Amino acid sequence: MVIAEPTTSRSSDLVAHIKQLQDTETNTFKELESGSGTTVLTTEQKATLVNQINDLSATRENLYKTLRENQAFYTNNLNSAQRTLVQQTDALEVVERELNRAKKRVDLINEERINRLRLVEINRYYGDKYKHHTLILKYVTFLFATLLVLVMVNNTGMLPPMVFKILLIIILVIGVYIIIKELYDAYTRDNMVYEQYNWAKIVPGLEHPGDLAGTTIFNTGDAKDGSCEAQACCDDGFTWVPPPFNKCIANSELGSEKVVSVMGKAVAPYEPNAPSMGSL
């Protein structure tokens, strides 16, 4: 019993510590689950909670491994202590399974939230697109309706031939100009956000445009030809994000849900003094 007593005390401490970590992790799971479906927690707070859960889980697994090793020692030396530890281990395994189920539920909640966000973005894109295309159809309808009225008035003999031709040319020129302008505007829209433009279609050879939400894409300092490329198109406080965005995004938005859901992780902000990829 001289060897068993300190070892038993150590195992009891491990069990108590694991139980404390499980309780802490359970409370953290509950806090994360309750805040995932609402706007109570920000993205940074959720990420902090997830990191805490991972740290607690790693610590708990190490302690659990140590406890298993002690259990093997008890099996060879203390039969009575073994039965007690087996019961305690069984209880811990039950809690472990519940925690694993809770972690899977959190993953499902996050996946469902990301899917809803993508669905909202898709609906917004096609809603704006259909709204703009409907406007173009209205212009086309109005042009043909105006031409029809002009032809009907001309058939009554109320307009001189020269006046009819002049009005016909003016209406056609104005109508066709407006329709072509709107069609070109629709063609240059971005494939991800319809309210923004794909500047590579407007300026050939421009690998990456600035973002319409606050950057001046042609403001490149000493550049005199009015062109820019990639990060050079971005103002201070903005970072160029590669495809599928191809945009200058504010540094404060690089960790937003929209960027993380598309890129898979937060994008590191651009640092002027950091070495470029080409110099590494």
Round to whole Å and give the CA distance between 236 and 213: 14
**Residue 121 near residue 114 (C-beta atoms within 8 A):** no
Could you read off the pLDDT of 39-80 as tens digits, one per residue? 566 777 777 777 777 787 778 777 777 777 777 666 666 666
Q: For the chain, what is the mean pLDDT?
A: 76
Q: Which residue has the higher pLDDT, 202 or 97?
A: 97
Percentage of the chain lying above the pLDDT 90 cut: 14
Q: Quick one: tokens of 173?
A: 């020129």
Could you read off the pLDDT of 134-151 as tens digits, one per residue? 999 999 999 999 999 999
Model confidence at 239: pLDDT above 70? yes
Q: Which residue has the higher pLDDT, 194 or 146?
A: 146
Q: Quick one: tokens of 107?
A: 């993953």
Model confidence at 229: pLDDT above 90? no
The whole-number average pLDDT for the span 209-219 is 37
DSSP per-residue letters across the chain = -TTHHHHHHHHHHHHHHHHHHHHHHHHHHHHHHHHHTSSSS-HHHHHHHHHHHHHHHHHHHHHHHHHHHHHHHHHHH-HHHHHHHHHHHHHHHHHHHHHHHHHHHHHHHHHHHHHHHHHHHHHHHHHHHHHHHHHHHHHHHHHHHHHHHHHHHHHTT-S-HHHHHHHHHHHHHHHHHHHHHHHHHHHTB-SS-TTSB-HHHHSTT-SS---TTT--TT--TT-SSS---GGGGPPTTEEEETTTT-EEEEGGGTTSHHHHHHHSSPPPPP-TTSPPGGG-
Model confidence at 173: pLDDT above 70? yes
- 199 φψ region: left (φ > 0), alpha (ψ -120 to 50), beta (else): alpha
Residues 6+ apart with CB under 8 A from 262: 244, 245
Model confidence at 2: pLDDT above 50? no
**Residue 106 near residue 32 (C-beta atoms within 8 A):** yes
**Residue 270 near residue 231 (C-beta atoms within 8 A):** yes
**Predicted pLDDT of residue 78:** 61
Model confidence at 174: pLDDT above 90? yes
- Cα dihedral sign, 133-135-137-143: negative
Could you read off the pLDDT of 122-136 as tens digits, one per residue? 888 888 889 999 999
Could you read off the pLDDT of 15-26 as tens digits, one per residue? 787 788 778 878
Model confidence at 209: pLDDT above 70? no
Ranking 96-110, 154-168, 220-234 by mean pLDDT, the lowest is: 220-234
**Predicted pLDDT of residue 224:** 35
**Residue 82 near residue 75 (C-beta atoms within 8 A):** yes
Q: Quick one: tokens of 193?
A: 């956000």
pTM exceeds cut of 0.85: no
Model confidence at 179: pLDDT above 70? yes
Model confidence at 113: pLDDT above 90? no
Q: Residue 111 is which amino acid?
A: E
